[in-house]
């Protein structure tokens, strides 16, 4: 007859107890996971936050920033907040994105998302006509004003700072909310406090209205000796490449000998459109290099056929930014066009627009871009070949526009000297001024 060892009996009981506890913990833990997943699945607002985090995590151009700011912990802390409404979700996303220190990676509420899409794909937008960015001190800065807009008529200039909108500090609002508050239904008004570079502060009462973007405008300039084409692009929307092709064809039929490309106050838009326009002016040349989270990609090369191959002058100013800087940089580096004017804005980051729930969206910086010669535009801008120390025109392309007149005179002098290339042609600012007298 066998006798059971008491220690073995106690051990077996303890082991059984531990197994029961372990099994219970697994069940409880599994239930908690299921409950958490169920809560997340039932909360559309919380799902928006999770989707935004995932999109940024997969696409942001500088993943090293994630380790620096403890990106995964930010997600955890964000999801611990009360997120029951769409507005709470948008606010949570804004808080989540802030440590990235990238003003261009931002959540877009439904109204802002729709307006941004309409400006990229449509021909008009309701608002005051201001295109905004942030300076080095995170102040809201005017990149440019749209032609014929309330902001332009009120004398707001590129480089001015937006201090308040309807009494609310732009610093408190941030870039996206400041832009949002300036937009609205036609006929409504908004009070904007603006400060100039000299420090002068003034209040401007602006009435919102439908602003005709008219992204491509063209005309023929004629004098006694030559016929010059003038092509102005105010922004790069989806329809622009086709409109530029049509405009260049029209100018060729008018037998223009040279071309003035006006990119002043063009704050960008769709990078793909800017590249497509460069493709129309360059023959088998590098247009731009991009640097994303995986490193520098091969340059995009233009096609062989061009829509215009004559001499060119490209006008740029401090409101020339983003996609327009890509175009200007490709023309300058390939020695295709002289750049005239002012140092450009210096926005060298590319955003991808992604959809979130409830017709909202998120803009994510996915890459930076370099000119064909490897120049980084971000924070630096493009330096013109010929700086123009002249007041900018109030009506671009008009008979009073001295910038266009200087470009026209320069092209005329170039055409008179057929044996001198655009690259070696010398005409300093004093000579340019003398041509106007």
Active-site residue list: 322, 333, 347
131 three-class SS: strand
Closest CA to 279 of 322, 334, 356: 334
C-alpha span between 336 and 145 (Å, rounded): 28
C-alpha span between 396 and 262 (Å, rounded): 9
C-beta separation of 403 from 361 below 8 A = no
Burial class (CB in 10 A: 0-12, 13-18, 19+), 17: exposed
Please list the residues that pair with 296 across neighbouring strands.
291
Q: What angle do CA 216, 221, 227 make, to 5 degrees?
A: 115
Burial class (CB in 10 A: 0-12, 13-18, 19+), 406: buried
C-beta separation of 328 from 314 below 8 A = yes
Please list the residues that pair with 205 across neighbouring strands.
191
Q: How far apart are the first and last CA of the chain?
A: 127
Strands 209-212 and 189-195: unpaired
C-beta separation of 69 from 78 below 8 A = no
C-beta separation of 342 from 317 below 8 A = yes
Stated as kind and residue range, the H or E segment containing 48 is helix 44-59
Stated as kind and residue range, the H or E segment containing 259 is strand 258-262
User: Taking the CA of residue 331 as centre, how many other CA atoms within 13 Å lie in the half-sphere pointing to its CB?
Assistant: 37
Kindly state the DSSP code that residue 393 receives in the 8-state scheme: P
**Cα distances (angstroms) measured from residue 188 to each of 74, 184, 353, 392:** 39, 7, 28, 30
């Amino acid at each position: 007859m066998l006798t059971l060892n008491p220690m073995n009996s106690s051990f077996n009981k303890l082991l059984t107890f531990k197994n029961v506890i372990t099994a219970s913990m697994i069940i409880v833990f599994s239930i908690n996971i299921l409950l958490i997943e169920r809560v997340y699945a039932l909360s559309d607002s919380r799902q928006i936050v999770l989707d935004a985090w995932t999109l940024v995590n997969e696409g942001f151009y500088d993943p090293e920033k994630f380790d620096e700011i403890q990106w995964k912990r930010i997600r955890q802390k964000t999801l611990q907040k009360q997120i029951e409404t769409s507005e709470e979700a948008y606010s949570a996303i804004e808080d989540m994105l802030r440590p990235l220190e990238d003003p261009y990676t931002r959540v877009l509420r439904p109204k802002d998302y729709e307006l941004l899409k309409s400006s990229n794909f449509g021909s008009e937008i309701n608002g005051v006509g201001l295109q905004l960015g942030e300076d080095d001190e995170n102040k809201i800065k005017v990149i440019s004003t749209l032609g014929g807009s309330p902001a332009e008529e009120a004398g707001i200039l590129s480089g001015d700072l937006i201090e308040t909108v309807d009494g609310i500090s732009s610093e408190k609002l941030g870039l996206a909310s400041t832009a949002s508050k300036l937009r609205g239904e036609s006929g409504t008004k908004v009070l904007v406090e603006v400060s100039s570079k000299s420090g002068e502060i003034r209040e401007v009462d602006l009435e919102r209205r439908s602003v005709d973007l008219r992204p491509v405008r063209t005309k023929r300039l004629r004098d006694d000796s030559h016929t010059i084409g003038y092509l102005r692009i105010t922004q790069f929307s989806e329809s622009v490449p086709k409109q530029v092709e049509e405009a260049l064809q029209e100018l060729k039929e008018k037998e223009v000998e040279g071309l003035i490309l006006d990119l002043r106050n063009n704050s960008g838009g769709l990078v793909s459109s800017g590249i497509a326009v460069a493709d129309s002016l360059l023959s088998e040349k590098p247009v731009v290099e991009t640097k994303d989270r995986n490193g520098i990609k091969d340059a995009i090369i233009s096609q062989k056929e061009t829509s215009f191959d004559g001499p060119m002058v490209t006008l740029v100013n401090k409101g020339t930014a983003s996609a327009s800087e890509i175009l200007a940089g490709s023309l300058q580096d390939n020695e295709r066009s002289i750049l005239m004017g002012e140092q450009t804005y210096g926005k060298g980051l590319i955003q991808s627009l992604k959809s979130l729930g409830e017709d909202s969206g998120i803009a994510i910086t996915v890459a930076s871009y370099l000119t064909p010669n490897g120049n980084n535009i971000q924070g630096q801008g493009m330096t013109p070949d010929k700086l123009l120390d002249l007041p900018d025109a109030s009506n671009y392309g008009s008979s009073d526009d001295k910038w266009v007149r200087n470009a026209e005179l320069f092209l005329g002098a170039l055409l008179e000297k057929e044996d001198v290339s655009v690259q070696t042609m010398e005409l300093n600012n004093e000579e340019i001024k003398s041509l106007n007298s």
